[in-house]
Structure 1
Amino acid sequence: MTQTVQLSQFGLGKLSNGLYAAFLNVFSTFVQKATPAKLGLKADDFTKFQQLLAQLDDAVLQVRKEQLTQELDQLDTQRDQVLRFLLSSI
C-alpha cells in the first residue's frame, strides 16, 4: 500500500536564490537516496530536475563571483587611496 504524505507549505518564495538552491540540492540528495521510483517520481522527470538544478547552481555561483568581484574592486580602490595618502605624507 502506498502512503502519501503532503508537506506543509513554508514559503519557498521568501528564500534568497542561494538558500533556495541549497534547499533543492538537499531535496535532490534525499530523492537520490530514496530513489525516484520509491517516491513515485518518473526517472526522466528527476533527471530533468537535476539538469535544471545544475543550471541554477551555476547561476547562483556566477552571481556570487560578481558580488565578490565588486567587493574586491572597492577594497582595491580603498587600498590605493590609503597608499597614495601614505606616500604623499612621506
Structure 2
Amino acid sequence: MNIIDEIYTIERRLRLARIPLQELYRAAGINGSTWTRWRTNKTSPRLTTWTDVQRAAEKVIIEKASRAAEQQIGGNDSHARRGSTRFGAEP
C-alpha cells in the first residue's frame, strides 16, 4: 500500500469514529498543511514521521473507542445500582 492509499484509509477510519483530522494532527505533532501536501503527493513523509502518524491514528481511535465503552458500561452500572432490571421492573 502506498502513502496516498494509507492516508485515505486513516481518514476513513477517523471519519467512521467521528474523530476530526485536527485531533490526529495534534496527536502526531504535524501541521494540517503537511498532511495536505502528503495527500496531494507534493511531498512525502519521512519513514519515522509516517510511523508516528500511524501510531497516533491508532491511539486516537483506540482512546475514542475506550471512552465510548466506558460511557456505555457506566450507563449500565447506574441501572444495576438502582436495582432495576433491563425492563425497568424491580427485582
Task: Report the TM-score when normalising by structure 1.
Answer: 0.50
Task: Report the TM-score when normalising by structure 2.
Answer: 0.49
Higher Rg of the two aligned structures:
1
